[in-house]
Amino acid sequence: MSLRTPLGRVRGLGSARSGTRHFWHQRLTSVAGVPLSIFFVVLVVSLIGRNHAAAVQILGSPWIAILMLLFILTITYHMQIGMQEIIEDYAHGEVSKLVLLIANTFFSIAIGLASAFAILKISFGV
């Protein structure tokens, strides 16, 4: 005998009604991060030895800026989810867990926004 409702069994959702959202988001961001990380490494290697003006010109290209934004946002979201899982699994005490989860969220948002701001500032030449 199951305690789940028929609709719950069909949807495959657990007691929190969220299923495996974090699991899938973690996997999707890791898959998206592979080509974006390869792009980032190739871009950094191509910028070695160039002067500041040439680097700004390359980074200011619309396609490069879009790919950099995708890289930054994907990686920071992936980082936030991963750290959240670690905090939920290993932090003891409800207050410390809550404080760490809030700090993790604010840190991830701050890093993502600061990086996006820097890329957009270079891209728009402001």
Tell me the pLDDT tens digit for each residue of 53-93: 999 999 999 999 999 999 999 999 999 999 999 999 999 99
Q: Has residue 15 been placed in a domain?
A: no
Provide the number of structural domains found in the chain.
Answer: 1
CA torsion, ordered 56, 108, 24, 16, to nearest 10 deg: -160
* CATH number for position 96: 1.20.1300.10
Q: Has residue 55 been placed in a domain?
A: yes
Q: Has residue 12 been placed in a domain?
A: no
Which of the four pLDDT bands, split at 50, 70 and 90, describes residue 23?
confident
Q: Has residue 106 been placed in a domain?
A: yes
Q: Has residue 7 been placed in a domain?
A: no
CA geometry: angle 80, 106, 66, nearest 5 deg: 65
Structure tokens belonging to residue 75: 């990686």
**Residue 18: per-residue pLDDT:** 60
Lowest mean pLDDT among 20-24, 29-33, 109-113: 20-24
Range of the domain at 97: 21-124
Q: Has residue 10 been placed in a domain?
A: no
Q: Has residue 36 been placed in a domain?
A: yes
